[in-house]
Amino acid sequence: MRIKQMTVGMMGVCCYIVACDDTKEAVIIDPGGNEEDILAACQQKKFTVKYIVNTHGHPDHVCGNRRLKDDTGGDIVMHAADADFFSQERVEQFFSQLGLPASPPVDKRVVDGDTLIFGKETLTVIHTPGHTPGGICLYSEPNLFSGDTLFAGGVGRTDFPGGSTEELLHSIKTRLLALPPDTIVWPGHGYGGERSTIAQEKTGNPFLAGGW
pLDDT value of position 210: 60
Please name the CATH architecture into which domain 2-208 falls. 4-Layer Sandwich (3.60)
User: Exposed/middle/buried for 11, CB within 10 Å: 0-12, 13-18, 19+?
Assistant: middle
Q: What is the pLDDT along the chain (212 residues), one digit of tens a residue?
A: 999 999 999 999 999 999 999 999 999 999 999 999 999 999 999 999 999 999 999 999 999 999 999 999 999 999 999 999 999 888 888 888 888 888 999 999 999 999 999 999 999 999 999 999 999 999 999 999 999 999 999 999 999 999 999 999 999 999 999 999 999 999 999 999 999 999 999 999 999 976 44
pLDDT value of position 100: 86
Q: For residue 101, give the amino acid letter.
A: P
Specify the DSSP class assigned to residue 132: S
Specify the DSSP class assigned to residue 96: G
The model's pTM is 0.96
Cβ 49 vs Cβ 73: under 8 Å: yes
pLDDT value of position 101: 85
* Phi and psi at residue 112, to the nearest 5°: -55, 135
